[in-house]
Amino acid sequence: MKRREFITLIGGATAAWPFAARAQQPAMPVIGLMQQGTPYTFSLSGFRQGLKEGGYVEGQNLAIEYRWANDDPSRLPELAADLVRHQVRVIVALRSALAAEAAKSATDRISIVFGHGVDPVAQGHVASLNRPGGNITGMTSLTQELIGKQLEALHELLPHAHHLGVLSTPTSLIHEAIIKDAQAAASALGLAVEAATADNNSDEIAALFARLTEQKRVQGLLVTQDPLFMTRRVQLAILAARYALPAVYPFREQAEAGGLLSYGADLGDRDRQVGHYVSRILKGEKPADLPVLQTTKFELVVNMQTAKALALQIPAKLLTLADEVIE
């Protein structure tokens, strides 16, 4: 073979190497993320951090299909079915027990990882926390168990109040259980509880505040866990200020939006753990072998700006216990 022909042959083969190598690379895995709220309900930074710590970065070696119910829970089964049709590797039901339930009903083949505050055993999502079985696992913060402590915080803020409101949504899987627990906790404190429900209607939520304060004479409000109340956190804070109604919330984001006080799970950390589990499943582990984890990080946040606007003195005990005081 002549020297020029040999160089041409080698040059052509070298040029083909990148294409051959690219063809041999595995396809980028695709996961689906579904949520009951809107794209603006909460930050995904914790979830993305967990993925990154597990070796996955969206757009580099991972693709994510997003599905949002926009605070309409009836859409969740349709969104779950759509992700199944797309044959995603993992379905992530983030911050919504209803999303986890819809995903579980849609498939027994695709892995599911959830992160929410509902007891997954009681809801039939898993067989047990240690041995979830099937195709689903995740993180839970059992927020229902915090109702008593949140009411205690509200009682600390309003020691002379005797009539408190509890705001929930009728679509919540634990709506009735929350009201029952709140009534029991309030009774132990010598308080009366007024149960109230809201759906995704701005005018009705505003009318609810007027009714609670002007007709029911509620002196304080406990806002319970629900994706709707995260979406509506600014509206809730504005209404609470307008009607001079001190309110306690379950999550930091609600205090940061102007809520008086929040006490509940560190959602960023819970989301990060969900991201970890997704990365482990992408690497070959099975949901049945990954125990459901319980949140161990909780945080108390006090918004002093809101307290001053309400002319409310925050007890020293709460300030001492607070993880953050927003000045």
3-state SS class at 63: strand
In angstroms, rounded to a whole number, what is the distance separating the alpha carbons of residues 288 and 285? Answer: 9
222 in a structural domain = yes
8 in a structural domain = no
pLDDT of residue 3: 46
123 and 198 assigned to the same domain = no
Look up the domain containing 281 and give its range.
Answer: 30-142+266-297
pLDDT tens digits for the chain (327 residues)?
A: 544 444 444 455 444 445 444 445 568 999 999 999 999 888 999 999 999 999 999 999 999 999 999 999 999 999 999 999 999 999 999 999 999 999 999 999 999 999 999 999 999 999 999 999 999 999 998 777 899 999 999 999 999 999 999 999 999 888 898 999 999 999 999 999 999 999 888 899 999 999 999 999 999 999 999 999 999 999 999 999 999 999 999 999 999 999 999 999 999 999 999 999 999 999 999 999 999 999 989 999 999 999 999 999 999 999 999 999 999
230 in a structural domain = yes
Sheet of 136-140: strand order equals: 63-68, 30-35, 90-94, 111-116, 136-140, 293-294
35 in a structural domain = yes
DSSP state of 164: E
In angstroms, rounded to a whole number, what is the distance separating the alpha carbons of residues 167 and 196? Answer: 5
315 in a structural domain = yes
74 and 157 assigned to the same domain = no
Q: What is the CATH number of the domain that holds 49?
A: 3.40.50.2300
322 and 186 assigned to the same domain = yes
In angstroms, rounded to a whole number, what is the distance separating the alpha carbons of residues 237 and 127? Answer: 39
By the 8 A CB rule, do 279 and 51 touch?
yes
154 and 219 assigned to the same domain = yes
By the 8 A CB rule, do 68 and 38 touch?
yes
By the 8 A CB rule, do 93 and 99 touch?
yes
Question: Looking at the 3D structure of the chain, how many domains does it have?
Answer: 2
Q: How far apart are the first and last CA of the chain?
A: 81
128 and 187 assigned to the same domain = no
197 and 261 assigned to the same domain = yes
Q: What is the largest CA-CA distance in the chain?
A: 101
pLDDT of residue 298: 93
Backbone φ, ψ for residue 63 (5° rounding): -115, 145
pLDDT of residue 9: 45
In angstroms, rounded to a whole number, what is the distance separating the alpha carbons of residues 276 and 281? Answer: 9
pLDDT of residue 237: 98
pLDDT of residue 312: 96
164 and 248 assigned to the same domain = yes
Number of CB atoms found within 10 A of residue 77's CB? 17
Helices (H), the chain: 3-24, 45-53, 76-85, 97-106, 147-157, 175-188, 202-210, 227-231, 233-242, 252-256, 267-282, 304-309, 316-321
235 and 286 assigned to the same domain = no
pTM for this predicted structure: 0.88
68 and 179 assigned to the same domain = no
21 in a structural domain = no
